[in-house]
Structure 1
Amino acid sequence: MTMRIAIAGGGLGGLTLARILHRHDIPAVVYEREASRSARSQGGMLDLHPESGQRALAEAGLADRFRSQARPEGEEHRILDPAGRTLVHHVPRPGSFSGRPEIDRRALRDLLLDSLPGEAVAWRHRLVAAQPRPGGGFTLRFDGGHSAGCDVLVGADGARSVVRSLLTDAALYPVATRAELSIGDVDRRHPELAELVGPGNLWCVGASRILSAQRLGDGGIRVGISLPADDRHLDTLRSKRALLDVFDGWEPRLTALIEAGDDPPTPHRVEAMPAGARWTHRPGVTLLGDAAHLMPPVGEGANQAMLDAAELAAALAADPADPGSAIRAYEEAMFARIHPIAEMSARVQAMMLSPTAADDIVRFFTKGSTGS
């Protein structure tokens, strides 16, 4: 009998898993809560690392399509101080894919969706509960009353994973408060900001605060404001005026990024799981990506989710008759791989919002680098 695999969550990790399983003729259904691929913005750019995200795409047979849509020039990044002085300026080799080329999250998700048969993704299926069945497997219940069964359940359903509760009660903890703004058509409407940000990433770093900007492939800029974790910021950072007060005294050409936002800012709490979080193996269910190891957003999350997917798919393809053993092997390897990466991500996040962040970040980038 064919093993029925259900993947909760149609983000980059879940779709990568479905694609690689499909290449091995192992059917899987992705249950996604959104109504369609265009239901909401997918965020800004991400840089795909050769050893993780790019490796996963190679195993998915999508390396060439990725290169056709990636933006290696997006690797350029500058770090400025509040007075607008340049502290670090990295310029990649033109046209080179040897580093960590950037790609819009929307473009990458579309690339993965286009590689799957239409029936592989069930839209409008928000998982609300997963109940073990006496003979093995799970009954899945979705918002609106729909239900489905599966033999193997993979939780790729993000920070607020429903599937996670089947395996662990690990609690999330706050690591930062972040607000975001978008600026569209910057070359025409705000050429001075287009020049300031350049083709990649800009970080303006002060004491315990960062004003960042990222150039997108659609000609827009995504602006981010990062502050230490404090719920009071969620209430105060809902207007441009409040954000400008946070950066009072900074060089006006930097704070112009806030003034140019097309809509009011959207603040949210940034959370993570403890670096050593793991669970006891349970037959028929596992986690990947943020559901398994939510980390501070310093460039590893999507890359590790995609690598999780590639390694889990390889394990299941190598031993389809014994998914329990395949899942156990995947989990042990994933725990060992993720622990040092999660610890590093926590250190980088703390460094970026420290009172001495500018000096710390300059030292960090002169010794090595992390993702954007």
Structure 2
Amino acid sequence: MYNSKKQIAIIGAGPGGLTLARILQQAGFEPLIYERESSPTEQSQGGTLDLETHTGQKALQVAGLMKKFEKVCRYEGQALRIMNKYGNLWYENDFQNNEDYSRPEIDRADLRNLLLNSLHPNSVQWGYRLIQAVPLSKNQYELQFEHGEKITVDLVIAADGAFSRIRSLVSQSSAKYSGISMIELSIKNVSNQHADILKFNGSGSMFAMGDNKTLMAQVNGDNRIRVYLGFRMGYNFLDECDITFHEPEIAKKELLKYFDDWSGDLKKYILYANGEIIPRRIYMLPVHHRWEHKPGVTLIGDAAHLMSPFAGAGANLAMLDGTELALSIINHSNLEDAIKIYEEKMFAYAGKMAAITQANLDMFFSDRADEKLEEFFHNIQQ
């Protein structure tokens, strides 16, 4: 095993970085996580996600957290309905009549708390915004933070997301606009105020598509449905579309114009929204992104293989990365060998999933989405 007294720094307290730290701590290592947020509650952690058997759930098994996960996950959240813009149902997986327990849902905030609470006290240094990492001799790095502190480490692991400050040390690739823009809405207190849309949606997720647009909806554990409107548009769309995002009631009327000929039930997801409206561009790294190994540094999660959300792989792969890297460090006496073994393994599975994700994007956002979707489900049922 690699010397557990060496200084290991993890940049970013997302699912990947927290998983990595948890597994290393179980083996006697004391990594420190440096997170730019000032506290665990500074920012919303977003909606809900499913953890897959061979990725996210595997990570929790290795981390010894499955029993705690099972207490907070929602198996009924696996339910899925997929339809076209007219509300014609193409696919339905009703959890009540399905014995597949492989992809239970968990709110992102609950997952983060589960991982955070499993770590030793003071494992996360909050309010540490990294400016840069400077290579030193002996394969060490000096981490320079916004408030002026400088820290020397033997290994720096980038778990700092799409716009990683570490990625440029190993790769010339940067996050590029995917061609998709999304707008997030919320229907809060949904079971009491809008039981009709909850019945239409089902207990899990609903996905509709047509005309190079998508409408995705997910039931969250806090009695809300999060809604994500997707558009295949140019980079400037969100700036030039004249949607008044800071005035939700006006913005809803403007958004409905983009879905004028969609089913009345689907338009209710916009009509019923009762919270802030959040626009965002979707970014990605090149499919099969990889780099030549450099001593003392590596990447996990979105820093390594940022992809669009159209296969639900982001958090699952980040947790798998954290697991594979931790196990490689634990099981090899030479640190550089351990990192190389992790990187090659990760390049293979992440590249495969990035290709699937891109294929899904191209299928969902197309002029013939209905036909492509029908053909897709016909093929998988053969």
TM-score normalized by structure 1? Answer: 0.95
Which residue among 106, 128, 131 is the counterpart of 1:128?
A: 131
How many residues are paired up?
368
Q: Bigger shift: 253-262 or 154-163?
A: 253-262
Q: 1:119 aligns to what SS in structure 2?
A: coil
Unmatched runs of 5 consecutive residues or more in structure 2 = 246-250
Q: Distance in 2 between matches of 1:368 and 1:147?
A: 54
Q: Distance in 2 between matches of 1:102 and 1:96?
A: 15
Paired AA for residue 305 in structure 1: A
Unmatched runs of 5 consecutive residues or more in structure 1 = none
1:47 touches 1:101 (CA, 8 Å); kept in 2? yes
Which residue among 193, 196, 211 is the counterpart of 2:197?
A: 193
2:283 touches 2:307 (CA, 8 Å); kept in 1? yes
Matched, 1:215 2:214: no
Q: 2:280 aligns to what SS in structure 1?
A: strand
Residue in structure 2 matched with residue 86 of structure 1 by the alignment: 89
Matched, 1:53 2:56: yes
Which residue among 305, 308, 317 is the counterpart of 1:304?
A: 317
Q: Bigger shift: 103-112 or 168-177?
A: 168-177
Q: 1:135 aligns to what SS in structure 2?
A: helix
Q: 2:137 aligns to what SS in structure 1?
A: coil
2:188 touches 2:275 (CA, 8 Å); kept in 1? no
Residue in structure 2 matched with residue 360 of structure 1 by the alignment: 372
Matched, 1:113 2:116: yes
Q: Deviations over 1:240-280 (max 9, x none)?
A: 23311110122222112112222342111101111121111
1:207 touches 1:354 (CA, 8 Å); kept in 2? yes
Q: Distance in 1 between matches of 2:254 and 2:177?
A: 21
Residue in structure 2 matched with residue 285 of structure 1 by the alignment: 297
Deviating beyond 3 angstroms after TM superposition, the runs of 4 or more aligned structure 1 residues are 93-98, 365-369
1:73 touches 1:94 (CA, 8 Å); kept in 2? no
Residue in structure 2 matched with residue 333 of structure 1 by the alignment: 345
Paired AA for residue 322 in structure 2: A
Which residue among 57, 66, 77 is the counterpart of 1:74?
A: 77
Aligned-residue RMSD, C-alpha: 1.7
Q: Distance in 1 between matches of 2:253 and 2:234?
A: 19
Which residue among 331, 343, 355 is the counterpart of 1:318?
A: 331
Q: Distance in 1 between matches of 2:275 and 2:66?
A: 36
1:72 touches 1:94 (CA, 8 Å); kept in 2? no
Paired AA for residue 196 in structure 2: E
Paired AA for residue 357 in structure 1: A
Distance apart, 1:347 and its partner CA: 0.7
Q: 2:111 aligns to what SS in structure 1?
A: helix
Q: Distance in 2 between matches of 1:367 and 1:65?
A: 38
Q: Distance in 2 between matches of 1:100 and 1:94?
A: 15
Distance apart, 1:21 and its partner CA: 0.5
TM-score normalized by structure 2? Answer: 0.92
Identity of aligned residues (%): 39
Distance apart, 1:366 and its partner CA: 4.6
2:27 touches 2:330 (CA, 8 Å); kept in 1? yes
Q: Bigger shift: 269-278 or 94-103?
A: 94-103
